[in-house]
Chain A
Amino acid sequence: MPSRLLDLEPGAGPRGLAAYRERGGYSAARKALSSMTPADVREEVKKARLRGRGGAGFPAGIKWSFVPQEEGRPVYLCVNADEGEPGTFKDKYILGHNPHLLLEGIVIAGYAVGIHSAYVYIRGEYELIARRLEDAIVEATACGFLGADIQGTGFALDVAVHRGAGAYVCGEETALLESLEGKRGWPRLKPPFPAVVGLFSSPTVINNVETLANLPGLIRDGSAAFLALGCPQDGGTRLFGVSGAVVKPGLFELSVGASLREIIFQHAGGMLPGKMLKAVIPGGLSSPILKADEIDVAMDFDSLAASGSMLGSAGIIVIGDDTPILRVLDRIVKFYAHESCGQCTPCRLGTAWMAKLVRRLSAGEGRQGDVTELERVASMIRGRTLCPLGDAAVLPVLAVVSKFRDELETSIPPESRRA
C-alpha cells in the first residue's frame, strides 16, 4: 500500500515548497480549482467516506454540507491542530515535516465550501512547528498557491496561524472557537452548531489537520481509490501512533481497518523484552481500555465502537504486565481533573472526586466500597456536561473498573475490606 501522508525519511527536516512540488504537490489543488466545481469536490469527499481524524469520526463531506450557502456572511475554516489527546502525536508530523500537504488540503477544503479565510489553531507547545508552518504559508503565498488569486483562478484564501496556550479542552471545537476569539476555552451550548454560528458568529468549518492532509491524495486519485484504501464506511489510511511498552514506538500509516494486533506486534516491534501485554488504550487516553485478549480488532471507527471502545485519534498506548492497573487509572483520572475547564459542575466536581478516590486507593488507604463509589461518581458525570470532556473522563474509568475490578480491589487493605 502506498504511504500517502508519511513519505518522509526518518529525521528529515521540513519539506519545502520546491521539494513538495517535485512530488506533484499542489497538482490536486490545481485540478480542483481548474476542472471541478465546489459541489464536485464536496461530492467526491462524501463518496470517499473521509471521516474526521480528530477523534469523533464525523464524515467530512457531510460536515461541510451543513454550512449554509450564499448567505452573505463570511465562512471560516478552523484547522484543529490542538493535538492534546494523550498518546497522540500525528498532526505534529504533518505540520512539522510536510506543512504544504496541509496547506494544499486547506485550499481544497476552502474551495469546496467557499471559504476565503482559514485559521490554524495549533497547541501552544508546538512553537517551533508553528513557525515552520508560518514560513510555509509565506512560501506558498509568494508562489500563488495561497493569497488573492490562487494560480490565476480568481479563488482567494488566506491562512493565519494562531497558537493556543495549554488547555486540552480547546481541542473541543466550540472551546477552540472561544479560545480563538480571545477568551478562556469554555465550550458553547449546541445548537447552534459551528457550521451555522461559529467563529465571530459566522458559519465555520472545523477540521482536523490529518483530515485536511488527506484531501490532496483523495482529489488526485479520486474517491474510489481513496475508499479502496480503507473500509467500505471509512476510507483511506490512518496515522497510527504507538507509544508505551513496545520495542519501536512511532507513527505508522496503514489502511483504516488495520489489525490492532498487527500494529503492535509487527509494526511497533512487539512488547519490550521481558514484558507481556496487559492492556491497550486504542484511540487516545479517552478511549476505553482493551484487555490483552481483545486486540484482534480492526482499527476503524465502527469496529472499535462494536468492541466497546473507540478509534478516537488512533493514538495507541500499550501497557505491559509490569504496570499496575491502579497506576493507569491514576494517570487517567488525574489528567481529566486537571483539564476539566470548570464550566459544568458534574465534570468540575466529579473529575476532582474521582482523582481523590484513586489517590486514596494508590496510597494504600482505600476503603471498602471505594471502587463502587468511583463508578457512582463516574455515572453522575456521564451525559450531564456541555462538551464531550465529561464523557471522555468517564468512559475510560468505567472500562478499567469493569475489566480490572479484581486487581483494583486487591489494592484495598484487607482490614478495611472487611470493615
Chain B
Amino acid sequence: MSTVLSSGLKDRIAALAVRYPRKQAALLPALHWIQDENGFIAPEAERDLAALLEIKPIQVREAVAFYTMFHRRPMGRYHVQVCDNLSCDIRGGATVLARLQERLGIGPGETTADGKFTLTTVECLGACEKAPCLMINFDYHGSLDPDRVDRLLESLE
C-alpha cells in the first residue's frame, strides 16, 4: 500500500485542477482518487496533494478529517458499512449488525486481524426502500436479514 502519489495520479490530479477556476476545488475528487489507488490517505499523500493544488497541508488535513468517507489509516479489503438510521432500524438493521459482529468477530470501527474486513456503522445511505441496507466498498446490498448476511459474506473472497 503506497503512502505517496504515483506519477500517474499526480498527472491526473494536475489535469483536473486546471479545469476548475481555483485549483483547490479539485481537492475532494483528488482525495477520492488517492484513496481508490492507495487505500487510504497518508500524511505523505496529503503533503503531495497540497503541493499540487498550491494549498497548505493543513487544508488537506482539514478536509480528510471532516469527511467520513476519507480514511487516514488502512482499511480492510472489504469495508462493510451498515446503516443504523431509523428506516433501517425499523426493519431489523440491528439484527443485521449483530450477525456481522458475530460472524466477523469485530465491533464497529474495527478491522479483522487478516485485514479482510472493516466494519462500521454509518448514517442513512439513501436506500431506505431496501432497508435494512449496507454498503460493501461501493456496492449496495438491501432487504437484508441475518441469513442474507451469511450468504453475502460467503460470496466474498
Contacts and interface: CB of A to CB of B under 8 A. Distances in A.
Contacts, number: 142
A104 B16 CA distance: 25
B21 A200 contact: yes
A123 B89 contact: no
Interface string B86-110: 1101110000000000000000000
A179 B53 CA distance: 15
A10 B39 CA distance: 35
A180 interface: yes
Interface stretch (A163-171, A358-366, A370-378): A163-171
A285 B86 contact: yes
A388 interface: no
Contacts of B119: none
Contacts of A242: 129
B25 A249 contact: no
Interface string A150-183: 0000000000101111111000000000011111
B25 A182 contact: yes
Contacts of A187: none
A84 B125 CA distance: 7
B28 interface: yes
A338 B29 contact: no
A180 B25 contact: yes
A339 B124 CA distance: 11
B65 to A, nearest CB: 8
Nearest to B86: A331
A89 B28 contact: no
B124 A184 contact: no
Contacts of A338: 123
B62 A163 contact: no
B6 interface: no
Contacts of B42: none
Interface string A127-171: 110000000000000000000000000000000101111111000
A285 B25 CA distance: 30
B68 A165 contact: yes
A341 B66 CA distance: 8
A323 B87 CA distance: 11
B66 A249 contact: no
Nearest to A322: B90
Nearest to A86: B124
Nearest to A341: B66
A243 interface: yes
A163 B32 contact: yes
Interface residues of A, number: 54
B70 interface: yes
Contact of A86 (B65, B69, B85): B85
B59 interface: yes
Interface string B43-82: 0000000000101000100110111111000000000000
A164 B67 contact: yes
B135 interface: yes
Contact of B24 (A128, A181, A241): A181
Contacts of B67: 124, 164-167, 184-185
A164 B31 CA distance: 10
Contacts of A124: 28, 32, 67, 69
B128 interface: yes
A285 B85 contact: yes
Contact of B126 (A123, A128, A335): A123
A182 B123 contact: no
Contacts of A331: 84-86, 89
A40 interface: no
Contacts of A179: 28
Interface stretch (A16-24, A295-303, A312-320, A403-411): A312-320
Contacts of A184: 62-63, 65-67
Given A86-B85, A165-B68, A200-B21, A245 B90 contact: yes
Interface in A68-108: 83-89, 92
Contact of B69 (A87, A166, A315): A166
B27 interface: yes
B19 interface: yes
A181 B55 CA distance: 12
Contacts of B70: 165-166
Closest 3 CB pairs between A and B?
A182-B27, A243-B128, A165-B67
Given A127-B138, A245-B91, A339-B123, 11 more contacts: A83-B126, A84-B123, A86-B85, A124-B32, A166-B69, A182-B22, A184-B67, A241-B129, A243-B90, A317-B86, A331-B85
Interface of A: 83-89, 92, 123-128, 160, 162-168, 179-185, 200, 241-245, 249-251, 281, 285, 315, 317-320, 323, 327-328, 331-332, 335, 338-339, 341
13 contacts: A86-B85, A86-B124, A125-B135, A168-B123, A180-B28, A182-B24, A183-B62, A184-B62, A184-B63, A184-B65, A242-B129, A245-B90, A249-B131
Interface of B: 19, 21-22, 24-29, 31-32, 53, 55, 59, 62-63, 65-70, 84-87, 89-91, 122-131, 135, 138
